[in-house]
């Protein structure tokens, strides 16, 4: 029930900020569309801790700040390599056994890797991530697993929940 409630609150906030029209008629439209969307999601049985990760919400800012800093650093690095004359890259592919226990945690990890310039997750299967890196050093960073540990910590602080408990019917 709290996931469904969280979804409705989230949808309502999204609608209020996107609409900008605050009159009774538009409130009615907004309420109607939020409830319809929530009902469709509930009917599809996708309202759970994966689609509405309420448990991660409080700890997200710390992780996002860290990831933002990492992205800024690798942007500088990759930009320098693009502009420097001659070949300054050493494309490498590697695999890493991913630490995060839940599908959501693994997805956050794979997406973070891809979002960071210089590394792209090309495969994620059976807990193994296959990564293409622009340089050998980028690949070593993945193998050392700093980002992996960060995602694990983020996931743990939110309380690992692997149950796919669905709200209602």
Contacting residues toward other proteins, per CB under 8 A: 14, 17-18, 20, 71-72, 75, 78-79, 82-83, 89-95, 110-112, 114-123, 125, 128, 130, 132, 134, 136, 139, 143
Least separation in angstroms between CB 96 and other proteins: 9
| Element containing residue 99 per DSSP (H, E) | none
Cα-Cα-Cα-Cα torsion 5, 51, 48, 103, nearest 10 degrees, comes to -150
- The residue among 17 and 25 lying less far from other proteins, judged by its C-beta, is 17
Residue 142 · residue 89 · CB < 8 Å: no
Smallest distance, other proteins to C-beta of residue 78, A: 6
Q: Quick one: 116 or 152, whose CB is closer to other proteins?
A: 116
**Least CB distance from residue 145 to other proteins, whole Å?**
14
Contacts of 119 (CB under 8 A, 6+ apart): 74, 113, 131, 132, 133, 134, 138, 139, 141, 142
Residue with Cβ nearer other proteins (89 or 165) = 89
Q: Give CA–CA dist 147/78, Å, rounded.
A: 18
């Amino acid at each position: 029930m709290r996931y469904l409630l969280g979804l409705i609150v989230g949808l309502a906030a999204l609608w209020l900020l996107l609409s900008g029209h605050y009159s009774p008629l538009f409130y009615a439209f907004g309420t109607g569309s939020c409830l319809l969307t929530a009902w469709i999601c509930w009917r599809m049985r996708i309202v759970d801790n994966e689609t509405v990760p309420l448990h991660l919400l409080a700890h997200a800012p710390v992780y996002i700040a860290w990831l933002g800093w990492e992205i800024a650093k690798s942007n500088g690095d990759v930009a320098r390599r693009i502009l420097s004359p001659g070949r300054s890259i050493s494309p490498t592919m590697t695999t890493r056994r991913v630490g995060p226990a839940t599908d959501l945690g693994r997805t956050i990890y794979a997406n973070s890797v891809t979002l960071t310039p210089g590394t792209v997750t090309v495969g994620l299967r059976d807990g193994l991530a296959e990564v293409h890196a622009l340089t050998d050093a980028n690949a070593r960073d993945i193998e050392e697993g700093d980002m992996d540990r960060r995602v694990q910590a983020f996931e743990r602080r939110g309380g690992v929940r692997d149950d796919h408990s669905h709200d209602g019917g």
